[in-house]
Structure 1
Amino acid sequence: MEFKDLEIFQMVAEKGTITEVAKQFSYVQSNITSRIQKLETELNTPLFNRHRRGMSLTPEGKKLLSYSKKILMLTDEMKKAVQSNNEPSGKLEIGTVETVYHLPKILSSYIKKYKKVDLSLFTGVTELLEEDVLNHKLDGAFVTEADFHPDLVSYEVFHEELVVISDMRHYTLEELKNEPFLCFSEGCGYRARLETWYKDENVKPQKVMEFGTLETILRSVAMGLGVSFVPKSSVTHMVQSDLIQCHTLPDKYSKIKTVFIKRTDTYLTSTMEKFIETIESNKQVSIENI
Structure 2
Amino acid sequence: MDIQLLKVFFTTAQEGSISKAANKLNFAQSNVTHKIQQLETDLQTQLFYRHNRGITLTPSGQILISYAEKILHVIQEARLAVGDSSVPAGPLHIGSLETTAAVRLPALLTKYHTEYPAVDFSLTTGPTEKHIHAVLHYEQNGAFVSGPVEHPDLVQENVIDEELVLVTSVSHPPVNSIHDVQMSTLLVFHNGCSYRAKLNQLLHEEGILPVKLMEFGSIETIIGCVGAGLGISLLPRSIITEPEKQGRISCHTIPNNHAKVTTVFIRRKDTLITPALSAFLSEMRAHFA
- TM-score of the aligned structures, taking structure 1 as reference length: 0.85
Q: Distance in 2 between matches of 1:24 and 1:50?
A: 20
Instruction: Judge which range, 238-247 or 115-124, deviates more.
Output: 115-124
1:266 Cα offset (Å)? 2.3
Identity of aligned pairs, percent?
Answer: 40
Q: How does 1:55-134 map to 2 (within 5 A)?
A: 55-100=55-100, 101-134=103-136
1:84 Cα offset (Å)? 4.4
Instruction: Choose from 173, 179, 186 the match for 1:181.
Output: 186
Does residue 216 in structure 1 map to residue 221 in structure 2? yes
Q: Distance in 1 between matches of 2:204 and 2:170?
A: 26
Q: Distance in 2 between matches of 1:83 and 1:244?
A: 52
2:187 and 2:233 in contact (8 A); partners too: yes
Q: Once superposed, what is the RMSD of the aligned Cα atoms?
A: 2.5
- Secondary structure, counterpart of 1:235 in structure 2: helix
Q: 1:59/1:202 Cα in 2 relative to 1: closer, same or farther (>3 Å)?
A: closer
Deviations for 1:216-258, whole angstroms, at most 9, x for unmatched residues?
2222212211111111221233223322111123443323322
Q: Distance in 2 between matches of 1:16 and 1:255?
A: 41
Does residue 205 in structure 1 map to residue 210 in structure 2? yes
Deviations for 1:65-101, whole angstroms, at most 9, x for unmatched residues?
2321221122223333334444223332222222112
Q: 1:18/1:251 Cα in 2 relative to 1: closer, same or farther (>3 Å)?
A: same
2:148 and 2:264 in contact (8 A); partners too: no
1:115 Cα offset (Å)? 2.9
Give ranges in structure 2 of 5+ residues lacking alignment.
Answer: none
1:10 Cα offset (Å)? 0.5
Q: Distance in 1 between matches of 2:91 and 2:206?
A: 46
1:190 Cα offset (Å)? 1.8
Q: Give the letter for the 2:69 counterpart.
A: K
Q: 1:255/1:17 Cα in 2 relative to 1: closer, same or farther (>3 Å)?
A: closer
Instruction: Choose from 239, 242, 246 the match for 1:241.
Output: 246
Q: Distance in 2 between matches of 1:46 and 1:74?
A: 25
Q: 1:78/1:179 Cα in 2 relative to 1: closer, same or farther (>3 Å)?
A: same
Q: Distance in 1 between matches of 2:207 and 2:67?
A: 49
Q: How does 1:154-169 map to 2 (within 5 A)?
A: 154-169=156-171
Deviations for 1:247-274, whole angstroms, at most 9, x for unmatched residues?
1234433233222111223232222111
Q: Which residue of 2 aligns with 1:50?
A: 50
- TM-score of the aligned structures, taking structure 2 as reference length: 0.86
How many residues matched? Answer: 284
Does residue 228 in structure 1 map to residue 230 in structure 2? no
Deviations for 1:174-227, whole angstroms, at most 9, x for unmatched residues?
433432222224442222333343345444433333333323222221221111
- Secondary structure, counterpart of 2:99 in structure 1: coil
2:162 and 2:237 in contact (8 A); partners too: yes
Give ranges in structure 1 of 5+ residues lacking alignment.
Answer: 285-290
- Secondary structure, counterpart of 1:282 in structure 2: helix
Q: 1:144/1:62 Cα in 2 relative to 1: closer, same or farther (>3 Å)?
A: closer
2:93 and 2:123 in contact (8 A); partners too: yes
Q: 1:49/1:250 Cα in 2 relative to 1: closer, same or farther (>3 Å)?
A: closer
- Secondary structure, counterpart of 1:266 in structure 2: coil
Q: Which residue of 2 aligns with 1:267?
A: 272
